[in-house]
Chains A and B, each alone.
Chain A
Amino acid sequence: MPDALSGVETEAAIARYFRGSRPLFEAFRTGCLSQFSVDMQAIDKSLQQADAATVRRIAHNIKSAMNMLGHTALGAEALDIELAAQQGQLDRAANSWRTLAAAMQSLLSAAAGLDRGSTQ
């Protein structure tokens, strides 16, 4: 997949977090892309239920995944949600989540488009 999908820090992420192994990075990214929609639904549900602990935990997981994928800006957004939920500030978490969820949806759409393109 081209770097446009994963942001400008892909190569740095591969070097820093995957010891330069592109196959391991690609496998990690594929797994992340298939899990993102599951976690997005889980955060939506947890926000509706005011379940701050679950919002914190899942945002924390997304943060780690984003940073390892080289999406550091999205990782920072997820950290903000994690910290807001940890402090019980669910309104702030929900606001930040709207931004992050839109970015994740764009990421998934771009990945799906590239996937379709690669098989045509």
Chain B
Amino acid sequence: MKSPALQIDEVEYLTTHQVAQLIGVTVRSVQMMVNRGELRGWRTPGGHRRIQKQSLDRWLAFRKSGNTGAKVGQLSTEPASAPRSGGKTVLLIEDSVYFQNFVASLFAEFFSGLTLHLASDGVVGLAMAGQLQPDVLIVDILLPGIDGATLITSLRSHAFFARTQLIVLTSLSGEQLEQYRFALKGVAVVHKPQMMNDLPPLLEKMLGVAPQHLPQP
């Protein structure tokens, strides 16, 4: 017999599967979010995870505010001004929630040792890049605020940016990219639909971190 429809507003705790369904990430991504402290949870005596609904509400509110550029970094528990740890840091500047979720899923699945930060627009992304000085910056082109190409040009004028490796993530066609070519010389460009094929090897090359459990095509 199947269970009745879940009334989310009436529960205090959720399973990892339910949370994954609600926010559009994999179960493993939810597990990683709990491990990173972004969601609060515990294990039942049988070993199953339960996620506190209140912590999910907080996370959703934070993501919503992040989409307006008001707050950022929801994919990491580290504040943007935290001192650099030994781990590698990646900053994603991407306005599309579809691809924010997808990149987060890829990191949770295949690069769980890396810390991924998120900025939802160019202005916030520029500030976060300066604060975090990430090992790798992944930037979209069509962004609210400052477009990706202008952002790259601006970052190149800063000394700290010399140690940051850059990946442009875009769905623009070759013709559409022409007007942004001024900023893309020597930059790795990943076409979004090919992200799962092209991004992991690029990150491996740049960071020396091999992807875990990457399915063979």
Contacts and interface: CB of A to CB of B under 8 A. Distances in A.
B217 A19 contact: yes
Contacts of B29: 27
A38 B171 CA distance: 20
Assign chain B's interface to a size class: 35 or more
Interface string A1-43: 0000000000000011111110110011111111100100000
Given A24-B26, A27-B25, A61-B95, A19 B171 contact: no
Contact of B6 (A34, A54, A119): A119
Contacts of A61: 95-96, 98-99
Interface in B17-31: 20-27, 29
Given A18-B196, A28-B24, A30-B24, A64 B99 contact: yes
Contact of A119 (B5, B144, B171): B5
B113 to A, nearest CB: 19
Contacts of B197: 19
Contact of B196 (A19, A27, A65): A19
B2 interface: yes
A120 B2 CA distance: 6
A24 B109 contact: yes
Nearest to A68: B193
A67 interface: yes
B4 A119 contact: yes
Contacts of B96: 61, 64-65
A28 B217 contact: no
Given A64-B193, A119-B6, A35 B26 contact: no
A28 B98 contact: yes
A71 interface: no
B105 A28 contact: yes
A38 B214 CA distance: 32
A16 B217 CA distance: 8
A39 to B, nearest CB: 8
Contacts of B144: 54, 57
B95 A27 contact: no
Nearest to A86: B176
B147 to A, nearest CB: 10
B102 interface: yes
Interface in A36-81: 38, 54, 56-57, 60-61, 63-65, 67-68
A18 B110 CA distance: 13
Interface of A: 15-21, 23-24, 27-35, 38, 54, 56-57, 60-61, 63-65, 67-68, 116, 118-120
24 contacts: A15-B217, A19-B217, A20-B217, A23-B26, A24-B105, A24-B109, A27-B26, A27-B29, A28-B105, A30-B24, A31-B23, A31-B24, A31-B98, A31-B101, A33-B24, A34-B23, A34-B24, A35-B24, A57-B95, A63-B171, A64-B96, A65-B98, A119-B4, A120-B5
